[in-house]
Chain A
Amino acid sequence: MSGEAYLTEYPAIAARLPGVDLPWLQGFRKQALQDFGVSGFPGNREEEWRYTNLSALNKTLFAPSASQNVDEDWLNQYSLDDAASVVLVNGQFSASLSRLQDLSAQVSVSSLKQALQDRPAWLESRLGQAVTSAEHNLVAFNNAWFADGVVIEVVAKQQLDRPVQILHVVTQADALAATRNLFVLNEEAEAEIIETYVGSVGSYFTASVNECLLGRNAGLTLYKVQLEAEKAQHFGGTYVKQARDSRFNHHNFALGSGLARSDIHTGLDTAAECSLNGLFVAGKRQHIDNHTRINHLKPHGISREFYKGVLDNKARGVFQGRVIVAEDAQQTDSEMNNRNLLLSADAEVDTKPQLEIYADDVKCSHGVTVGQLEEKSVFYLQSRGLDEEAARNILTFAFANEMVDKVENAELKALLLKELLERFPAISL
Chain B
Amino acid sequence: MSTSAQEIEHLISQEYKQGFVTELEVDTFPPGLDEDVIRRLSKVKNEPEFMLEYRLKAFRHWQTMPSPDWAQLKIDPIDYQAISYYSAPKSKKEGPKSLDEVDPQLLDTYKKLGIPLDEQERLAGIAVDAVFDSVSVATTFKGKLKDAGVIFCPISEALQEYPELVKQYLGSVVPTGDNFFAALNSAVFTDGSFVYIPKGVRCPMELSTYFRINAANTGQFERTLIIADEGSHVSYLEGCTAPMRDENQLHAAVVELVALDNAQIKYSTVQNWYPGDKDGKGGIYNFVTKRAECRGRNSKVSWTQVETGSAITWKYPSCVLLGDDSVGEFYSVALTNNLQQADTGTKMIHIGKNTRSTIVSKGISAGRAQNTYRGLVKVAKSAENARNHTQCDSLLVGDKCGAHTFPYVEVKQPTAQVEHEATTSKISEDQLFFCQQRGLSAEDAVSMIVNGFCKEVFKELPMEFAVEAQALLGISLEGAVG
Contacts and interface: CB of A to CB of B under 8 A. Distances in A.
Interface residues of B, number: 36
Given A354-B404, A367-B420, A372 B415 contact: yes
Given A356-B404, A357-B394, A360-B397, A368 B414 contact: no
Nearest to A353: B407
Contacts of B412: 346-348
B406 interface: yes
B424 to A, nearest CB: 4
B396 A357 contact: yes
Interface string A309-353: 000000000000000000100100000000010111111111111
Contact of A371 (B399, B403, B417): B417
Contacts of B426: 360-362
Contacts of A104: none
Nearest to A364: B424
A354 B405 contact: yes
Given A359-B399, A369-B419, A342 B414 contact: yes
Nearest to B374: A354
Interface in A9-37: none
Nearest to B424: A364
B421 A348 contact: no
A153 to B, nearest CB: 38
A366 B421 contact: yes
A83 B79 CA distance: 64
User: Looking at chain A, what size class is its interface with the partner chain?
Assistant: 35 or more
Given A351-B409, A363-B425, A370-B409, A358 B402 contact: yes
B204 interface: no
B446 to A, nearest CB: 14
Contact of B400 (A327, A354, A356, A361): A327
A336 to B, nearest CB: 9
Contacts of A368: 407, 409, 418-421
B126 interface: no
Interface in A156-203: none
B334 to A, nearest CB: 15
B381 interface: yes
Contact of B406 (A347, A354, A369): A354
Interface string B322-355: 0000000000000000000000000000000000
A350 B422 contact: no
A396 to B, nearest CB: 12
B283 to A, nearest CB: 22
A354 B374 CA distance: 9
B91 interface: no
Nearest to A362: B424
A354 to B, nearest CB: 5
A347 B410 CA distance: 11
A142 to B, nearest CB: 27
A355 B375 CA distance: 13
A408 interface: no
Nearest to A349: B411
Nearest to A348: B412
Contacts of A357: 394, 396, 402-404, 424
A348 B411 CA distance: 6
A307 B413 CA distance: 20
Nearest to B423: A365
A352 B412 CA distance: 15
Given A327-B400, A357-B394, A371-B418, A366 B381 contact: no
A342 B426 CA distance: 35
B401 interface: yes
A102 interface: no
Nearest to B409: A351
A348 B400 CA distance: 39
B282 interface: no
24 contacts: A327-B399, A330-B399, A343-B414, A344-B414, A349-B409, A349-B411, A351-B408, A352-B408, A354-B405, A355-B405, A356-B402, A356-B405, A357-B424, A360-B401, A365-B421, A365-B422, A366-B405, A366-B420, A367-B421, A367-B422, A370-B411, A371-B418, A372-B415, A372-B417
Given A356-B405, A359-B396, 17 more contacts: A342-B411, A346-B381, A349-B410, A352-B406, A357-B402, A358-B402, A360-B396, A360-B426, A362-B396, A362-B425, A364-B425, A365-B423, A366-B421, A366-B422, A368-B407, A370-B416, A372-B414
Interface of B: 70, 72, 379, 381, 394, 396-426
